[in-house]
Structure 1
Amino acid sequence: MSGTDTNFITYNGQLASVKRQCPMRPLSRHWLTQRFSLTPAFHYDKKVIQRATDAMKRLDDIQFRPAAVTIALAERNGELHVLFTKRARHLKHHPGQISFPGGKVEKSDKDIVETAVREMEEEIGVVAKREDLLGTLSPLPTVSGYLVTPVIMFVDANYQPTLDSNEVDSLFEVPLARFLRRDAITKQPFLVRGNTYHIYAMGVGEHLIWGVTAQILHALSQQLSLN
């Protein structure tokens, strides 16, 4: 890919720093809307899904709880950036890991989109409108017992984050183009109780994006593949 240098923006309640990254081709909201609507959904790695179902069987639990995450996209100068959170270190599940804002479905939520929008506003104070919905990816089962639906939303590039310290340690952005490069997200086999599974990962600056978040990004990147 080619293009001008892009920014990597980190928030911790407010703008903290801007780091220069490698050149890459800008991807706009218009491009993504057309591309996403014209490409078929990409199916998740069977070995990732199998790990989640095996974990549930060990717990004698076959019922995954519905949840949603928001892939929030902010456009600046014709280029989309993805919002990520670093989870608070005291959380029971996945403390300190990089993730999308999200959480479980509440009874008051009328659909999965409302869950995603509500959770994002609660965790990072960023508001999304239903008309800014691009679409959803297929639900992904997780080892923690959730069936997570990724919801893709466009958000105002001038958003002012308000982080819930009980849930989120920090917020940062990465250009979408970084995840669409060939082999940007790699997978490795690993052995658990005699079974081989796959784990996906990618380093971004000082952060390691891995697990469910990386698997979702990989699925999105394959659907939008520029190769």
Structure 2
Amino acid sequence: MNWSEEQLRRALARPAEASSDFDLNADVTPPAGTLRPAGVLAAFHEDDGRLVLTKRASGLRHHPGQISLPGGKVDPGDADETAAALREAWEEIGLASDQVDILGAMPPHRTVTGFSVMPLVGIIRGDFTPVAEPGEVEEVFTLPFAHVCDPASYRIEKRRWRGGWRSYHIAPYGPYYLWGATARILLGLADRMRG
């Protein structure tokens, strides 16, 4: 699949349903309670559509070493999930909000950790050299548009989790093991690209 900003815009205009870490695990009942709002940014570079991702620092308490989109929980000073995603992108990788053109949002994704994550899709305009925040980010890297936005890149694996088997989506690329919520969110975008 070739990079096309217009194709990405058309995909975002198509209807889609919310997703969840529980989608593949019908036997697991999501815990009751209020979900905490969060925002993540799927930022594609205007030149060739490469998607910016991070490898989380190995010393973090939550999800150490995992591949993720820049973003995080909505803090008291954030107006909404978009503000949280843009603030976190600045803090984690040095991406200024005025360099990102937000194209739209995808439906929220419910995580097993109790968050309702709003994925924002944007375009990085101009030159961008990431600066990883060492306390949070071990590495900043990119994946090709053709990999991220092709449903054929994704498959399902399972592992033992809390006394049972848990199935989840993966889309590995070279040394990067893209899985879990990030893979599920991006698969939702890839599915909309087909329409």
TM-score of the two chains, using structure 2 as the length reference: 0.88
**CA separation of 1:131/1:206 partners in 2, compared to 1, >3 Å: closer, same or farther?**
closer
- In 2, the alpha carbon distance for the partners of 1:74 and 1:80 equals 5
Pairing 1:93–2:90 present: no
Match of 1:201 among 170, 189, 192: 170
Q: In 1, are the aligned partners of 2:81 and 2:118 still within 8 Å (CA)?
A: yes
**CA separation of 1:170/1:116 partners in 2, compared to 1, >3 Å: closer, same or farther?**
same
Gaps of 5+ in 1: 1-24
- In 1, the alpha carbon distance for the partners of 2:176 and 2:99 equals 30
Match of 1:128 among 80, 97, 100: 97
Q: In 1, are the aligned partners of 2:100 and 2:123 still within 8 Å (CA)?
A: no
Gaps of 5+ in 2: none
Query: Sequence identity of aligned pairs in percent?
Result: 31
Superposed CA offset, 1:65-118 (max 9, x none): 111111011021xx3111000000000111001000111101111121111111
Superposed CA offset, 1:136-178 (max 9, x none): 1111111222111111111124112221100000101111221
Superposed CA offset, 1:2-22 (max 9, x none): xxxxxxxxxxxxxxxxxxxxx
Match in the other structure for 2:194: 225
Match in the other structure for 1:115: 84
**CA separation of 1:183/1:131 partners in 2, compared to 1, >3 Å: closer, same or farther?**
closer
Q: In 1, are the aligned partners of 2:56 and 2:63 still within 8 Å (CA)?
A: yes
Match in the other structure for 1:41: 16
Rg bigger for which structure?
1
Question: Which amino acid in 2 is paired with 1:27?
Answer: W
Superposed CA offset, 1:180-214 (max 9, x none): 33421101355655765430011111110001110
Q: In 1, are the aligned partners of 2:21 and 2:180 still within 8 Å (CA)?
A: no
TM-score of the two chains, using structure 1 as the length reference: 0.76
- Aligned CA-pair RMSD: 2.5
**CA separation of 1:134/1:222 partners in 2, compared to 1, >3 Å: closer, same or farther?**
same
**CA separation of 1:35/1:137 partners in 2, compared to 1, >3 Å: closer, same or farther?**
closer
Match of 2:150 among 165, 181, 185: 181
Question: Which amino acid in 2 is paired with 1:69?
Answer: V
Question: Which amino acid in 1 is paired with 2:5?
Answer: R
Query: Matched residue of 2:170: which SS?
Result: strand
Q: In 2, are the aligned partners of 1:74 and 1:80 still within 8 Å (CA)?
A: yes
Match of 1:162 among 131, 137, 141: 131
Q: In 2, are the aligned partners of 1:88 and 1:165 still within 8 Å (CA)?
A: yes
**CA separation of 1:49/1:115 partners in 2, compared to 1, >3 Å: closer, same or farther?**
farther
More relative contact order in 1 or in 2 (CA 8 Å, sep 6+)? 2
Superposed CA offset, 1:12-53 (max 9, x none): xxxxxxxxxxxxx4212233223322x2124426843868x8
Instruction: Tell me whether 212-221 or 150-159 shows the greater mean CA deviation.
Output: 150-159
**CA separation of 1:194/1:93 partners in 2, compared to 1, >3 Å: closer, same or farther?**
closer
**CA separation of 1:192/1:174 partners in 2, compared to 1, >3 Å: closer, same or farther?**
closer
Q: CA deviation at 1:56?
A: 3.1
Question: Which amino acid in 1 is paired with 2:23?
Answer: V
Aligned residues: 194
